[in-house]
Amino acid sequence: MKFSNKVFPLLFAFTFILSIHEISNAIDTITTTQTLRDGKTIVSSDGTFELGFFSPGNSKNRYVGMWYKKITDMKVVWVANREVPLTNTSGVLLKVVEPGLLVLQNDSNGVVIWSSNTSRHVKSPVAKLLDSGNLVVKDTNDDDPEKFLWESFNYPTDTMFSGMKLGWSSKTDHEVYLSSWKSKDDPSTGEFTCHFDPTGYPQEVVKKGLMVIYKTGPWNGVRYSGSLTLRKDPMYKYGVVLNKNEAYYYFDVLYRSIVSTSTLMANGAAETIWVNPTNVWVTNSTTGADICDIYGFCGAYGSCNIANSPVCGCFDKFLPKDPDGWNRKNWSNGCIRRTPLNCLDGDVFLKYTGIKLPDTQYSRINESMTLEECKVVCLKNCTCMAYTNLDITRGGSGCLLWFKELINIKILPEAGQDIYIRMSSSELDKNINKLAVHSEGKRRKILITSLTSLMGVVLLGLSLMLYFWKRKKNVPKGRTGGSIIKDFELPLFDLPTISKATNNFSINNKLGQGGYGLVYKGTLEDGEDIAVKRLSETSMQGLDEFMNEVMCIAKLQHRNLVKLLGCCIQGEEKMLVYEYMPNKSLDFILFDQAKSRLLDWPKRFHIINDVARGLLYLHQDSRMRIIHRDLKASNILLDADMNPRISDFGLAKSFGGNEAEAKTGRVVGTHGYMSPEYVVDGLFSLKSDVFSFGVLVLEIVSGRKNWGFSHSDHRFNLLGHAWILYKEGRSLELVGTCSDDSEYFNEVLRSIHVGLLCVQKCPGDRPRMSTVVFMLENDGALPEAKQPGFFTEREVFPAESSTSTNAAISSCKMSITLPEGR
Ligand SMILES: *[C@@H]1O[C@H](CO)[C@@H](O)[C@H](O)[C@H]1NC(C)=O
Ligand SMILES: *[C@@H]1O[C@H](CO)[C@@H](O)[C@H](O)[C@H]1NC(C)=O
Ligand SMILES: *[C@@H]1O[C@H](CO)[C@@H](O)[C@H](O)[C@H]1NC(C)=O
Ligand SMILES: *[C@@H]1O[C@H](CO)[C@@H](O)[C@H](O)[C@H]1NC(C)=O
Ligand SMILES: *[C@@H]1O[C@H](CO)[C@@H](O)[C@H](O)[C@H]1NC(C)=O
Ligand SMILES: *[C@@H]1O[C@H](CO)[C@@H](O)[C@H](O)[C@H]1NC(C)=O
Ligand SMILES: *[C@@H]1O[C@H](CO)[C@@H](O)[C@H](O)[C@H]1NC(C)=O
């Protein structure tokens, strides 16, 4: 933007003669006898702000506006006639007219282009540009702010700066809000507005027209719950004022030398900039930049986490309301409690941490209540969905209650707040278990010192728990609901119950061999079918894997993972109790000629997609982030509707956020599914699971096993075979006979292609599971698949042979051409 000091030479004499009292620079006031013409400016007394005519951006139109005088890179912070541009620099002037209006007038015909407004009159009005940047109309001799006739701070354009208040005054019933420019060339009112919204409990709201696009989250005494850029700083103060006359947000710098403004940009983003010591504008922050800031992006009870892919998830103990829509990435329906509320029987509250608090439009507050009183109030009202502290300073105080569904929740791991969400009391049972165990632990310690027999103590602890749980209703017989091993929140079954359910572990009930023990089918007294995995008595190795599985699976919840119902640890016996899967495991059906007919292509494709989602959950979305390490057809269980569930977490490894790769001394897994870098170097990573998934996909498509595959034309395994067909454009030949419906050819080809991308030799080339899920679900070009790892079985086995070490990995950097099939 360029400010023009030029006046047309021809008009100069005219101007000069008519306006003897025209303002020269460095005056801060316009009176009834002094006028301001284009080319002249007024400046606040300390020289900070300047008011005059300007042209924005590339526009030739003229506007009356205000900017910081000392900063060469001119930023206009206020515009008077934003809706009515001047097309000519001449003949227009700004003057004060009695009884108290500041007007922008066409000199030649007296037409008023823009005017201030007032409900009061004074004898000798003046317009004065104050040092704060507030242009006020007032009585000459009265400096009381209460008596100003008009002030520009009450009519901001797109920019807020020190001294302004965004919000409401009930006295004038006037709202001060920001509205964006149309573009940087056009200061007229754009699409976006930014409001201080005190409804319920204050938050700032950015709207596009009437549509809410962003809410900051409620004020928490320190900042808006979701605005991390607001930080305590000795250079400025800011805050929210709420009383019966006013409700506003203010921002003040404590030193005049600090210049900082917040602007609602033409694109709806709010930008805070400040002037650095070399007098240059620097951007401090921009809001609305991440997708999780979009109002209600993940729907009710959906939690948006920008670190996740996809960003939307349901809170723990919540499920997608419309699972199909959710899978299609339509999050608008949000999530619902997996166990419906039952207010009359007494609901409970569960604590969720690290979040940007939900929309407070339907909220109530009490500043004097404690958190405990807050809970009591919320509990009593069945429509109260959550509560938390109103103010987070000094350890938290006050009470904020939410009515209606919770929406606009974002995960802020470092700076988020706690919230207590209403939940069915049955969800708490597990947490009570947790408490019971902790208290049992304490009791145990005390007793150990008084008694000497550890065994006696454990028995005492157990019987106490049994007593406690038998008194509780709703606990199925035999499922005593107690808890085991630290805090895994697992229901405990007792041995007689399991024994009875499995017909004393009858061989007729045997379902198969799991990673470390036999699996039995059982039926509980209430008729529920279960699968019991029993750790072989002597296996030490097995104990590790058992504990590993407990630790992993107990914390996982996903519809494509097998569900752990509980466990049983008694004496030497250690067992895990799972829900029963009537269709056993995938290998059982897939590789059986007769049974495989049950799996038509839509079912197969469904299985591929669901396994991908389950694996994605393990890798990215679960709290623990897990590498399965033994993904294979026999570990995919099928429920009555042939929905797959990933099982067997004996080998799974949890990993921290950053370490996505680890090395292991002992290579464990299943031939045919293990990636080259794992077999050769013991390196396992998310990408080793991706490899196994790729093998599984090719097995599902072809109905043939990778390990033990043979073909009359070549010596390659299934991967090699699929690769050759792919290279020759004959991928469809891989398909088993049951899937020859041309309607599905696209999905089939896509699956094979994705499968081959997953089994590429170099881990870096393989896609992540989030990409895999995306590629399977969406049409679109896929990258060319490179050569698979282990396309022949004889390539690098035996695993521990040191001579073969690195053969597969080092070749990742070389380009290898595949031997042509004969
Ligand atoms: C002022 O009025 C004159 C006469 O009507 C007109 O020609 C001129 O364009 C007007 N100037 C502005 C800036 O509107
Ligand atoms: C401005 O207005 C004057 C007189 O009203 C006219 O002569 C002149 O051409 C106008 N200039 C522009 C750029 O329109
Ligand atoms: C001016 O103020 C009056 C009353 O205070 C109000 O009714 C009117 O709408 C205002 N006009 C403008 C242009 O703001
Ligand atoms: C802007 O950022 C600078 C440096 O990061 C900091 O010193 C200053 O206080 C910030 N100003 C505002 C208003 O946030
Ligand atoms: C998402 O679901 C909602 C509600 O079911 C529906 O109104 C909307 O059109 C859907 N959006 C898309 C993009 O499919
Ligand atoms: C807030 O809670 C206190 C204590 O329960 C009560 O005395 C007071 O009336 C409440 N205030 C409001 C405004 O509800
Ligand atoms: C529960 O709270 C809502 C919202 O404040 C209120 O309208 C309703 O009357 C309350 N119900 C009871 C039983 O107190």
DSSP character string of 505-541: T-GGGEEEE-SSEEEEEEE-TTS-EEEEEEE-TT-HH
Residues 273 and 488: their CA atoms lie apart, in Å, by 49
Residue 115 alpha carbon, nearest atom of ligand 3: 13
What CATH number did the domain enclosing 571 receive? 3.30.200.20
Which residues are registered as beta bridge partners of 272? 262, 285
My answer on whether 148 and 185 are in the same domain is: no
My answer on whether 325 and 339 are in the same domain is: yes
What distance in angstroms lies between residue 2's CA and the mean position of ligand 2's atoms? 20
What distance in angstroms lies between residue 795's CA and the mean position of ligand 3's atoms? 85
Residue 570 lies in a domain: yes
Dump pLDDT digits (tens) for 60-98: 999 999 999 988 888 999 999 999 999 888 778 888 888
The bound ligand whose nearest atom lies closest to the alpha carbon of 384 is 7
* Domain final residue pick, 152, 168, 202: 152
- Residue pair 287/229 in contact by the 8 Å Cβ criterion: yes
The bound ligand whose nearest atom lies closest to the alpha carbon of 387 is 7
Residue 822 lies in a domain: no
Residue 8 lies in a domain: no
| Mean per-residue pLDDT of the chain | 79
Q: So what's the pLDDT on residue 540?
A: 60
**Between 547 and 266, whose confidence is greater?**
266
Dump pLDDT digits (tens) for 425-445: 887 655 443 333 333 333 333
Q: In this structure, what token pair is assigned to residue 651?
A: 């080998």
My answer on whether 165 and 125 are in the same domain is: no
Burial class (CB in 10 A: 0-12, 13-18, 19+), 287: buried
Residue 1 lies in a domain: no
**Lowest-confidence range among 373-387, 648-662, 803-817?**
803-817
What CATH number did the domain enclosing 776 receive? 1.10.510.10
What distance in angstroms lies between residue 373's CA and the mean position of ligand 6's atoms? 10
Residue 33 pLDDT > 50, yes or no? yes
Q: Which residues contact 718 (CB under 8 A, 6 or more apart)?
A: 695, 698, 699, 702, 704, 705, 706, 709
Q: Is 383 in the pocket of ligand 7 (CB under 6 A)?
A: yes
Give the dihedral sign, CA 177/182/184/185.
negative
Burial class (CB in 10 A: 0-12, 13-18, 19+), 473: exposed
- Give residue for tokens 């009112």: 189
Q: What is the layout of strands, in order, in the sheet containing 49-54?
A: 41-43, 49-54, 63-68, 76-79
My answer on whether 518 and 651 are in the same domain is: no
- Ligand 5 surroundings by CB, under 6 angstroms: 325, 330, 332-333
Using N-to-C axis directions, what is the helix angle for 686-702 and 769-777, rounded to 10°? Answer: 30
The protein residue with its alpha carbon nearest to ligand 7, atom 11, reads 381
The bound ligand whose nearest atom lies closest to the alpha carbon of 90 is 2
Q: Is 29 in the pocket of ligand 6 (CB under 6 A)?
A: no
My answer on whether 408 and 320 are in the same domain is: yes
The protein residue with its alpha carbon nearest to ligand 7, atom 9, reads 381
Residues 202 and 359: their CA atoms lie apart, in Å, by 10
Percentage of residues of the chain with pLDDT beyond 70: 80
Burial class (CB in 10 A: 0-12, 13-18, 19+), 682: middle
* Domain final residue pick, 289, 310, 328: 289
Q: So what's the pLDDT on residue 434?
A: 38
Closest CA to 575 of 543, 545, 541, 532: 532
Q: Which residues contact 680 (CB under 8 A, 6 or more apart)?
A: 796, 799, 804, 805, 806, 807, 808, 809
Residues 194 and 264: their CA atoms lie apart, in Å, by 7
pLDDT band at 131 (very low <50, low <70, confident <90, very high): very high
For residue 115, the enclosing domain spans 16-152
Residue 4 lies in a domain: no
Residues 476 and 216: their CA atoms lie apart, in Å, by 46
Residue 11 lies in a domain: no
My answer on whether 243 and 329 are in the same domain is: no
Dump pLDDT digits (tens) for 286-327: 765 578 888 999 999 999 988 887 889 999 889 999 988 888
Which of 379, 385, 403, 405 for a ligand 7 pocket mutation test, highest count of atoms within 8 Å of Cβ? 403
Side-chain-side CA neighbours of residue 40 (13 Å): 24
Burial class (CB in 10 A: 0-12, 13-18, 19+), 737: exposed
What distance in angstroms lies between residue 332's CA and the mean position of ligand 5's atoms? 7
- Give residue for tokens 């007689």: 496
What distance in angstroms lies between residue 495's CA and the mean position of ligand 1's atoms? 97
Q: Once rounded to an integer, what is the mean pLDDT over residues 34-58?
A: 91
Residues in the chain: 822
My answer on whether 420 and 450 are in the same domain is: no
Max distance between CA atoms of the chain, in angstroms, equals 115
My answer on whether 169 and 276 are in the same domain is: yes
The bound ligand whose nearest atom lies closest to the alpha carbon of 274 is 4
Q: Is 233 in the pocket of ligand 4 (CB under 6 A)?
A: yes
* Domain final residue pick, 117, 152, 187: 152
Closest CA to 275 of 131, 130, 57, 68: 68
Residue 765 annotated to the active site: no
Q: Is 404 in the pocket of ligand 7 (CB under 6 A)?
A: no
Q: So what's the pLDDT on residue 448?
A: 31
Q: Once rounded to an integer, what is the mean pLDDT over residues 331-339?
A: 91
The bound ligand whose nearest atom lies closest to the alpha carbon of 401 is 7
- Determine if residue 533 is labeled as part of a ligand binding site: yes
- Residue pair 812/761 in contact by the 8 Å Cβ criterion: yes
Residues 625 and 552: their CA atoms lie apart, in Å, by 10
The protein residue with its alpha carbon nearest to ligand 5, atom 7, reads 332
Q: So what's the pLDDT on residue 432?
A: 40
Residue 11 pLDDT > 70, yes or no? no
Residue 383 alpha carbon, nearest atom of ligand 7: 1
Residue 712 pLDDT > 80, yes or no? no
Q: How far apart are the first and last CA of the chain?
A: 72
My answer on whether 460 and 368 are in the same domain is: no
Q: Is 368 in the pocket of ligand 6 (CB under 6 A)?
A: yes
Q: Is 640 helix (H, G, I), strand (E, B) or coil?
A: coil
- Ligand 1 surroundings by CB, under 6 angstroms: 86-88, 91-92, 106, 108-109
DSSP state of 8: -
My answer on whether 512 and 566 are in the same domain is: yes
Q: Is 397 in the pocket of ligand 6 (CB under 6 A)?
A: no
Residue 55 lies in a domain: yes
Dump pLDDT digits (tens) for 175-207: 999 999 999 999 999 999 999 998 889 999 999
- Residue pair 479/493 in contact by the 8 Å Cβ criterion: yes
Residues 161 and 163: their CA atoms lie apart, in Å, by 6
What distance in angstroms lies between residue 371's CA and the mean position of ligand 7's atoms? 19
One of 38, 630, 648, 689 is an active-site residue; which one? Answer: 630
Dump pLDDT digits (tens) for 559-617: 888 888 888 877 777 888 888 888 888 988 888 888 888 888 889 999 999 999 999 98
**Between 497 and 156, whose confidence is greater?**
156
- Residue pair 626/618 in contact by the 8 Å Cβ criterion: yes
Which of 363, 381, 402 for a ligand 7 pocket mutation test, highest count of atoms within 8 Å of Cβ? 381
- Give the best-scoring range by mean pLDDT among 133-142, 248-257, 663-672: 133-142
My answer on whether 624 and 766 are in the same domain is: yes
Interior CA angle at 817 toward 813 and 822, to 5°?
155
The protein residue with its alpha carbon nearest to ligand 6, atom 12, reads 366
The protein residue with its alpha carbon nearest to ligand 3, atom 4, reads 119
Q: In this structure, what token pair is assigned to residue 289?
A: 């930049």
**Between 277 and 721, whose confidence is greater?**
721
Residues 421 and 314: their CA atoms lie apart, in Å, by 13
Q: Once rounded to an integer, what is the mean pLDDT over residues 760-787?
A: 89
In the structure, how many helices (H) and strands (E) does the chain have? 15, 45
Dump pLDDT digits (tens) for 504-519: 888 888 887 766 678 8
Q: Is 171 in the pocket of ligand 3 (CB under 6 A)?
A: no
Domains in the chain: how many in total?
5
pLDDT band at 793 (very low <50, low <70, confident <90, very high): low
What distance in angstroms lies between residue 112's CA and the mean position of ligand 1's atoms? 11
What CATH number did the domain enclosing 30 receive? 2.90.10.10
Residue 233 alpha carbon, nearest atom of ligand 4: 9
My answer on whether 416 and 462 are in the same domain is: no
Q: So what's the pLDDT on residue 666?
A: 60
Q: In this structure, what token pair is assigned to residue 564?
A: 């752990």
What distance in angstroms lies between residue 367's CA and the mean position of ligand 6's atoms? 8
Q: Is 235 in the pocket of ligand 4 (CB under 6 A)?
A: yes
Residue 5 lies in a domain: no
- Give residue for tokens 């009858």: 506
Q: So what's the pLDDT on residue 807?
A: 42
Percentage of residues of the chain with pLDDT beyond 90: 32
Q: So what's the pLDDT on residue 269?
A: 83
Residue 26 pLDDT > 70, yes or no? no
The protein residue with its alpha carbon nearest to ligand 3, atom 13, reads 117
Dump pLDDT digits (tens) for 461-484: 333 233 333 333 333 333 433 333
Q: Is 117 in the pocket of ligand 3 (CB under 6 A)?
A: yes
